[in-house]
Amino acid sequence: MPVVTITEREFTQFQRFIYEAAGIFMANGKQALVSGRLAKRLAHYQLESYGDYLRLLESRAQPAELQVAVDLLTTNETYFFREPKHFALLRDLAIEARERRQTMRVWSAASSSGEETYSIAMVMADVLGDAAWEVLGSDISTRVLERARCGHYPMERANQMPQAYLKRYCLKGQGSEAGTMLIERSLRQRVQFRHLNLNEPLPKLGSFDVIFLRNVMIYFNLETKRQVVARLLAQLRPGGYFLIGHSETLNDINDTVTAVAPSIYRKP
């Protein structure tokens, strides 16, 4: 099939689609990203325009295709132990939980392909061992959640991982798997991944001691940020910590938590 060009009107329609589906605000000038990621779907259905693909989505004739489109249009970029100060705090909190013999629950609310979630689990396993602890990873993209559950990554994603953790919790790929690593099975089994849309009412998840929502709000407009943050803070126990990306802030978004350091907030 010939290369199909996305029109300005079609791009605007996809901006609206991803906002309504996921609360994500797609900036202007991203036509190449949209067309590049969706071109194979047009070819798959033998469609002649992006407008035809959008009509397919809106018709619900292929219900599963909605999730495919969301998966393709959401950007997922992460690596292990991103922003080390958050993991230093997590370690301190895990030590406190161990001393008090309390169950500790942590939620990676936009877990992408799982690097952040497994980084959390490594700290918890190191400090708390077989004690009671839980780690939940969630994302709107089923595609990245499948990768997360596999726990199989390119080795370069682990550049910031402590060497002791790399040796203890990861298996080095050999032969055809050279240059990759696999998260050790017992650690994978202690992590739960769920498909969640943070822009919709959440199921009953229980309360958490720490919630990570890092480098996600950049995709939301102000009102969506306020709604999502309020929704997540309702799941945070009093005294719990809410962690966001180092370039993000909760100024004008939520005033119910207290900033204790840049990108680190605590619920009274």
As annotated, the active-site residues are 37, 139
Give which of 166, 183, 235 is closest to 204, Cα–Cα: 235
CA distance 148 to 141: 11
The letter for the amino acid at 90 is L
Helix crossing, 50-59 with 8-22: angle to 10°? 30
Write the CB contacts of 70 (distance below 8 Å, at least 6 apart in sequence): 18, 21, 22, 140, 141
Q: What are phi and psi of 75, to 5 degrees?
A: -90, 130
CB distance 211 to 243 below 8 Å: yes
The letter for the amino acid at 156 is E
Q: Report helix, strand or coil for 153.
A: strand
CA distance 36 to 130: 46
Assigned token pair, 234: 């309702």
Alpha-carbon Rg for the chain, nearest whole angstrom, is 20
